[in-house]
Amino acid sequence: MKLKNKALLKKNSYIHGKWLHSKKEFPVTNPYNSDIIAQVTNHGKEETNQAIAAAAEAFKIWSKFSASKRSKILKNWRKLQLENLEDLATILTTEQGKPLAEARGEIKYGASFVEWFAAEALRVYGDVIPGHMANKRITVIKQAVGVVGAITPWNFPSAMISRKVAPALAAGCTVVIKPSELTPLSALALAQLAEEAGMPSGVFNVVCGTDAAAIGQEMCSNPELRKISFTGSTRVGKILLSQSADTIKKVSLELGGNAPFIVFDDADVDKAVEACISSKFRNAGQTCICTNRILVHKSIHDSFVEKLAIKIKALKVGSGLDVETEVGPMINTAAIKSVSALLENAIQEGANISEGGHLIKDQLFEPTLVVNATKDMDLFKKEIFGPIAAVYKFETEQEAIELANDTKYGLAAYFFGSDYRRIWRVSEALEYGMVGINTAMISTTLAPFGGVKESGFGREGSKYGMDEYLNIKYMAWDV
């Protein structure tokens, strides 16, 4: 891996300001060719406990820093991320697989949260409430929760750390991060830059390891860790929520999705097709908010499918480091098996493959278009998490809403149309935390990201994101 700043390629956990080595290691591989990139220290429950203890000790200092001092350090961290953009993107693409252009976008996206919350650190306001008696005064202040455990996924190994850690640090919390064992190098590079930015020892900790269950359980059961923020599967989210119950932690969960993409008969079809391509095939379809079920009004179905097929066929598939690549490899063989099983089920149930449908090599799966899909298929019920676009027909507005809501998930939804009255009706009827109207680009620092139902709870980003890391304290005064 060619890097200008070789100090960014770290292979050890970062605990209490030190890079801790162990004889136990695990390989990190390139999804495109399965080459081993690095052997990374394999830590577990004991090291997680050490990291929490270090964070708890550092919290006594960091939480007492002035908001402006914390803000300045966060700004330094953001500046270093952007200065090392190419190296961070190269590390990300090499261990995760997404095209380099997407990796650059992810680094910038993550840095935007650091910038936002560096400013929000200065705006943690309280209240003075009129007293209930003449000699009573009521004040309300907000204080940092304490030590935060951030468990982050492989599909956005850099941005999901920045999005969680920036508000936590801005609020005065300290953090212990458990990155995915598939993509730990991006997390360790951010730790290196956090150290360079001036974060005191113990404020920013990264524990790398393959025993995610043991690390997660230690985070959930340790009373010194007061908040869990998790992005990942609904199955694991439920386990973490249950394990956190005994210590009554604050918990934020951003879990699975099954996003509908509704195209009404009065939609701009060309615009809808372009948006569908960007939403469905970004990161090879491996995003929690990517389009999962394409619901198209029967009167424009054939036109939409024809145009979508042309766009899908033109997508360039290959190594993420190749500048022409638009769709990179899937993360591992387990992911390939999962999408292959979904595709096989759909064919058995009567669906047809209009484009793609084959494994090109190793973990490169062709962008695929499935037509004649029905709601009885696994493609409709499950999160695909791969480059398969399945199209379904509907006839009425109510049918589209019912199909869209026919899932246990409720993260993101999209629809295209021009009738402003229908826009309001459908937006309010969709059971999702986020709705894109004539757009599929909804992720931004300025808006609250999160879902409902079994897609989790809590919000990341915007002014609401800071509240997840703060406790409200009411003080009664007798004057």
Please, which contacts does 195-199 make with residues 24 or more away whose CB atoms are closer than 8 Å? 195/14, 195/17, 196/76, 196/80, 197/73, 197/74, 197/76, 197/77, 197/79, 197/80, 198/73, 198/76, 199/73, 199/77, 199/169
Distance CA 326, CA 318 (A): 8
**Cα-atom radius of gyration of the chain, to the nearest Å?**
23
Q: What is the DSSP string of 407-442?
A: SS--SEEEEE---HHHHHHHHHHS--SEEEES-S--
Q: Which of 254, 326, 454, 468 is catalytic?
A: 254
Annotation says 220 is catalytic: no
Q: Are 433 and 447 in contact (CB under 8 A)?
A: no
Distance CA 33, CA 30 (A): 6
3-state secondary structure of 359: strand
3-state secondary structure of 346: helix
Angle at 223 between CA 222 and CA 225, to 5 degrees: 75
Q: Which of 173, 208, 276, 288 is catalytic?
A: 288
- Per the structure block, which two tokens stand in for 135? 């000699």
In the chain, what is the straight-line distance between the N-terminal and C-terminal CA atoms, in Å? 66
Distance CA 159, CA 153 (A): 10
Encode burial over 211-241: b for 16+ CB neighbours within 10 A, e otherwise: beeebbbbbbebeebbbbbbbbebebbebbb
DSSP H/E element including 375: none
Annotation says 276 is catalytic: no
Catalytic residue ranges: 254, 288
